[in-house]
Amino acid sequence: MEFTQAKKDKEIIYGTTKARSLDDLVAESNIIAHVKILKLVDVFEDEGEQISKFQAKVKKYYKNNTDNNDAEEIYLYQLGSPDVDVVDNPLLEENKSYILFLKERDGGSKYGKVLIMTGEGYGRYNVNGTNVIPQLVHLNESNEESNLSPVPLEDFEKKLDKKIKTNLDSLNP
């Protein structure tokens, strides 16, 4: 993390994650799923940072190359807590829906395999009704910044499916 700042009893963290394109997110993620956050399960400190653990119901898997057998519910971890905000990736909210790009990481003997967002806020698309809005400005195919305009969920899913297929085809020529 770059630096922190105390503000009204809440710590604010500014991240240093590099910008990602949708292609980058697809290639770097083990799971891409439309989820609804059910609840904040736990908050703990690990190596001096606040980490939140969430339980989520999976509405749809777009990609899953883990051994979770397309589980109906997953647990994921996010940097930050109700007392610590990460500016580019505010804490997920209960009863809200997201399309999340998740990476499986080895949490060691203490946590086992854990899921975290790929590229922090870049791996998060907020679902608002029938629209999808990226959490952060992404890079487009020309390596230029895209905008944060809402996109119809159906259109986003078509684009995502195409990106996933292209990524799989490039891995298996």
The residue ranges of every structural domain in the chain are 3-171
Q: How far apart are CA 85 and CA 50, in angstroms?
A: 10
44-82 tens-digit pLDDT:
988 888 999 999 999 999 999 999 888 999 999 999 999
End-to-end CA distance of the chain: 38
pLDDT at res. 26 = 95
Instruction: Return the number of other C-beta atoms located less than 10 Å from residue 19's C-beta.
Output: 14
pTM of the full structure: 0.85
Domain 3-171 part of CATH 3.40.50.1110: no
53 in Cβ contact with 40 (< 8 Å) = yes
Separation between Cα atoms, residue 106 and residue 99, nearest integer Å: 22
